[in-house]
Amino acid sequence: MGDGLTVGADDLRTPEALSRARVVVAGLGVSGRAARDVLAGLGARVTTVDDRAADADATVEAFLSGDGLAAADVVVVSPGWPPAHPLLAAARGAGVPVWSEVELAWRLRVDRDSGGGPAPWLAVTGTNGKTTTVEMLASVLRAAGRRAAAVGNVGTPVVLAATDPALDVLAVELSSFQLHHTESMAAQAAVVLNVAADHLDWHGSLDAYAADKGRVYAGVEVACVYNAADRTTEDLVREADVADGAVAVGFTLGSPGVGQVGLVDRMLVDRGFAALRHTHAAELATFDDLAHLAGPDGLAPHVVQDALAAAALALAHGVPPEAVGAGLRAYAPGAHRIATVAEVDGVRYVDDSKATNAHAAAASLAAFAPRSVVWLAGGLAKGATFDDLVAARADRLHAVVLIGVDPAPLADALARHAPQVPVVRVDPGDTGTVMTRAVTEARRLADARGAGTTVLLAPACASMDQFSSYAARGEAFAAEVRALQPRG
């Protein structure tokens, strides 16, 4: 990495200091490349390490066999690299700090063109609903006239947005991976939407996973938003070390108490921020503002929860209540989230490929009528179990089609908790035709029930065993469905 003195770790708190630093960027995914480019633009001396990227400066083995860590000031790691990775373990052993791209972004924030210092962050994490919530939030902020962007785990790397002076406020989606290596971020407001077993192979335990989620509340300035139906999120707020004056605001699908946002007569209302919250609830939006987000069997509860969380964060930023309804009406959901692809012979085919864990699949199945779903599920389980999911949603199932190289965890849970439900396993041997065969089987099972059946792709698993991403999996499903010809 060249000769010369390294910068002390305690000094790496300004762009000026980082411009003189020697930085190892571990992993050249989207966030790694963004970190590399921003750091190089500052003048930092950057070494990239990746086993798969042809343009990386070194492989992991080659880097660790040299003296790169001895000269490094900091390692910026991509979110997919687990803490036990040999390079990260070596960095910790050498006393070299390890940062996420989010931590780097926080330290590189620039002042806004509009004045008032760097753009505040409104941070969103949770097992499920992050992308929907952060995109709803960005829509509400824009409806209030703010120059806002949805960034982070949702797409645009945070380091690019944090160094863009044109933005007034950032709606930041954060995964537990990103938060694990984030230490100095202090959001204006933050939410943990929910906590359920996920990524246990990466974190090691549910407690460790929850603790990393809870890091989003550290240093919060205005409001910690939590899910009143999920005790873990409230406990994380109680344990958080926040700025003086920061408040806790819960969201609920019931009538809200003081210090909450919730529902009254199909209206989203505020008793957390309103001046008269001790006696009155301020109207924010109605169910009509969310009507375009309803699924085939109505508005799913988790969609309303996401809207309430987004509203609370926007209110913490100072958005007027009337902007909430306008922003929710303007919000257009992304692909692969309970999207109806087609209806063929009275059977609806719905793509919710983004349901990559049991909690998300349970929410997806809950949106449909009892015994109406042919469930297309399976993939990479990531160490998860599915007993709670199947036990809770067996009443929705007409039949199940299992894909994936290891269908046993789902198959075993179905045998225990839904033995009456027919299950078809798709041979994983030919990955290229797996979705063709899955949709063929799903159609056969759906046709046996007839009109009013839904074929739902909500895998409850990651996609990387047979597809490059959840999006590729959803697109493969949609392509097969669109190729179906009516039998009449």
Give the whole-angstrom CA distance, residue 354 versus residue 457. Answer: 9
Count of other CB atoms within 10 angstroms of residue 286: 16
Per-residue H/E/C for 162-217: HCCCCCCEEEEECCHHHHHCCCCCCCCEEEECCCCCCCHHHHCCHHHHHHHHHHHH
E strand or H helix at 364, and its extent? Answer: helix 358-365
Across-strand partners of 172?
123, 151
Q: Is 131 annotated as a binding residue?
A: yes
Count of other CB atoms within 10 angstroms of residue 235: 15
Q: Is 132 annotated as a binding residue?
A: yes
Q: Is 126 annotated as a binding residue?
A: yes
Extended strands (E) in 215-367: 223-227, 247-251, 260-264, 267-270, 282-286, 339-344, 347-351
Q: Is 182 annotated as a binding residue?
A: no
Q: Is 130 annotated as a binding residue?
A: yes
Q: Taking a C-beta distance cutoff of 8 angstroms, is the pair 41, 18 a contact?
A: no
Give the whole-angstrom CA distance, residue 249 versus residue 256. Answer: 10
Across-strand partners of 99?
76
Q: What are phi and psi of 223, to 5 degrees?
A: -150, 135
Binding-site residues for ATP sit at 126-132
Binding residues: 126-132
